[in-house]
Amino acid sequence: MPRQIVFIMTDTTRKDMLGCYGDARMKTPNLDSLAQAGIRYNAAYDCQPVCGPARSALFTGTFPHSNGVVSNNVPLGLNVKTLGQRLSDQGIKAAYTGKWHLDGGDYFGLGICPEGWDPEAWYDMHNYLEELSDKDRMRSRKSETAYDESWSEDMTYAHRVSNKAMSYLEKHEEEDFFLVVSYDEPHGPCICPAPFNTMYDGFSFDDNPAFHDNLKTKPLLQRLWAGSDLEKSSEELRKSSKMLSLFLGCNSFVDYEIGRVLDQIQKVAPDAMVIFTSDHGDMLGFHHLQAKNAAFYQEITNIPLLIKPATSNERNQGVVVDYPASHIDITPTVLDFFNLPIPKLLEGKSMLAQIDNPEIRINDHVFCEFTRYEVDHDGFGGLQMMRSITDGRWKLTINLMDIDELYDLESDPHEVVNRIGDDSCRDIRNRLHDLLVEHMDETRDVYRGYQWVARPWRSDRVPTWQNSGLTRQRENEEYEPRQWDYDTGLPMEEAVRGKKLYDVKH
């Protein structure tokens, strides 16, 4: 029997935009059925709530600070290998159709299939626009086009991505493969045909404490980001709008398109593992904020993650996992599924044991980051340096140039009460802080330094010039020769070792 994985993702889908996560008003029957057939993760997190960086972690198994894609419009380095390269080099077919966002081009990509992926299946947004006339290209970028009866389902990017995926599945049903199906929807301009374009007219979110957060104990960045919305009432923030209706409608439309692919999987590859997730969410007025930016609120980082196992049993059908999960674990999980070794370079771990038995806990805590946002924009706050850790209940965020945040997700699930200065939380806060700094060291975070240690609430930890005092060289021996030791000029014996400190006295 062939070993097959279909990895499906959308852009800007919040966890609560799927009906299976609790809001029956969300019409996502196909993804809800997928959840019933497998595992639904409640505490899954992206590695950075921005399109490109989030995808870089998904498809390299390394954090953005390691692979270099710390912002949109920044390409992967030539020595950074993607999952497609690692699989195809081992004789496993790898195909990718849909939004890529990792070639350093503009929003739509360069239209060129990257190394390791099947060119026949490749179909980024640049390729899509090339199929359209100049007039239709412009129409494809306007939300009003969703109400144009002449813009039918088959004109949408989602439909054509689905077609590509379905064709690939039919052609390769007898072979081992890893297929990525990556939709731009429901990301703006949110074009979707009837009945989806009006399906959510009149919709408003239920009131909750996040709509009443005045941000007074939060970083200045958030208040600047909120702008005039900071003065709006909960009713104003939640009230129905054409754009919210269209966004949610587009979300149901992409569920419909995913359903077409799931039907094809059931027809030609019923034993394939199927994984669904999103790169990040959208604030949608919660905490008086819109879109996504340098924050780690649940609305933009706690993404949906559904996995239908290739081998089903009573333990892994229709179950919910509350343990922390992370996008960083996807690449090692896929490699493990195909019985391939997991390289030292990867910064996550395989979830395969948990997929077989959801009672197994893989992560005690997971990490998220934000390094900067602006390459081709002049707004959105500019440079921001942030790192976050959560154990599933507590979440600590270090805002390097501002005040930090600590939330108890059990007593304060909407993250309104910042407890960073609460002495009753000192032990858990400091433990998470130690783990976060240790993680920055272990992953060779290029932005690490004493500033992450020297926080105003951490008087018991003294920063030093040497930090950990260690040298940490890159271990990527699958594709590169062993790096040479600076002190000997010979291949290093240990990648992590004490740094020789020279006496500079005269």
Residues assigned a catalytic role: 51, 101
What would the two tokens of residue 336 be? 């493990």
Three-state secondary structure readout of 122-158: CCCHHHHHHCCCHHHHHHCCCHHHHHCCCCCHHHCHH
- DSSP 3-state of 167: helix
Task: Burial-class residue 324 by CB neighbours within 10 Å (0-12, 13-18, 19+).
Answer: buried
What would the two tokens of residue 107 be? 């929003």
What would the two tokens of residue 173 be? 């049903």
Helices H / strands E in the chain, number of each: 14, 13
CA-CA distance, 304 to 11, in Å (whole number)? 11
**Among the listed residues 185, 213, 196, the one whose alpha carbon sits nearest the alpha carbon of residue 297:** 213
Provide φ and ψ at 212, rounded to 5°: -110, 10
CA-CA distance, 159 to 156, in Å (whole number)? 5
Three-state secondary structure readout of 392-445: CCEEEEEECCCCCEEEECCCCCCCCCCCCCCHHHHHHHHHHHHHHHHHHHHCCC
**Among the listed residues 65, 77, 69, the one whose alpha carbon sits nearest the alpha carbon of residue 436:** 65
What would the two tokens of residue 99 be? 């939004």
Task: Quote the longest CA-to-CA distance of the chain.
Answer: 81
- DSSP 3-state of 219: coil
**Among the listed residues 34, 16, 20, the one whose alpha carbon sits nearest the alpha carbon of residue 302:** 16
